Amino acid sequence: MLINRVFSRPEKWKIYWRSIIDEIDKIGVSSLGIVALMSVFMGAVIALQTATNIDTPLIPDYTVGFTARQSFILEFAPTMLVLILVGKVGSNIASEIGTMKVTEQIDALEIMGVNSASYLILPKIIGGVFIFPFLIAISMVLGIFGGWFVCIATGVVSSADYIYGIQYDFRPFHVVYAFIKTIVFAFAMITVSSYHGYYSKGSALEVGKSSTDAVVYSSILILILNYILTQLLLI
């Protein structure tokens, strides 16, 4: 029901475009800092852990670069990062829409003749689905960079080995797979969070509950979808 209303024809595209730009800024650009910070440090830690666990000469040093790349492209950027962003973006969406609901702002929109579901949720979906792949691409690059930086800073693996590792057995489809996952997860997170916000009832306490539910249900859905997509696309 809600999704039908979200995707019904908007009253005025001009207003929606402005909202989409705002949502791209709110959902994506404002998350750049945390994405960059986490990616660099996670990349560094993955490289260090891999390097310190390789104590046999049978495993080449370039494995560190290879592992960092595979970890980031296949799982950390598209799944773990989105799961982390559920806590920031998903809870924000649910509490924003939930507050509008309990303070009758959504009723005000409806009485004016505005399709509130579409006006509030559609720009978030379009904005999120558009900007998340960019965030994930930035995360992949910065994560791999973080691994390289820590390797040359600590000397556990040479720069040449690391760079050889990140190029070794590279399959472009893995990047496509990561972007498909990202788009699906972004859609799932935004719709689930919006649903919980939109159907908030009562008081501020309920808005808090909606926000928590949004994070929990989005995370569970993303984990299930991750399994299904991996099975479908990689096996």
Partner 1 sequence: MIEIKNIYKSFGDKEVLKDISFSCFQGKVNIIIGQSGSGKTVLTKCMVGLHKPDSGQILYEGKDFVSMELEDKKEIRKNLGMLFQASALFDSMTVEENIMFPLTMFTDMDRKAMLRRTNECLERVNLEGTNKLYPAETSGGMQKRIAIARAISVKPGYLFCDEPNSGLDPQTAIVIDNLISELTKEMNITTVVITHDMNSVMEIGDHIMFIYEGEKWWEGTKEAILRSDNQELNDFVYASNFMKTLREKF
Compute the distance between CA of residue 219 and CA of residue 80 in angstroms, rounded to an integer: 10
CB of 204 to partner 1, least distance (A): 13
Structure tokens at 34: 């945390």
Q: Which is nearer to partner 1, 19 or 210 (CB)?
A: 19
Instruction: Kindly tell me the sign of the dihedral angle through the C-alpha atoms of 146, 150, 156, 159.
Output: positive
Among the listed ranges 11-19, 33-41, 168-176, 193-201, the one in contact with partner 1 (CB under 8 A) is 11-19
Supply the DSSP symbol for 72. Answer: I
Site residues for partner 1, 98-137, by CB under 8 A, read 100, 103-105, 107-108, 110-114
Binding-residue pattern over the window 46 to 75 for partner 1, x denoting contact by CB under 8 A: ------------------------------
CB of 13 to partner 1, least distance (A): 12
CA atoms within 13 A on the CB side of 175: 10
b/e 61-100 (16+ beta carbons within 10 angstroms → b): bbbbbbbbbbbbbbebbbbbbbbbbbeebbbbbbbbbbbb
Question: Residue 206, interface with partner 1 (CB under 8 A)?
Answer: no
Question: Residue 29, interface with partner 1 (CB under 8 A)?
Answer: no
Residues of the shown chain interacting with partner 1 in the complex, contacts defined by CB under 8 A = 11-12, 15, 100, 103-105, 107-108, 110-114
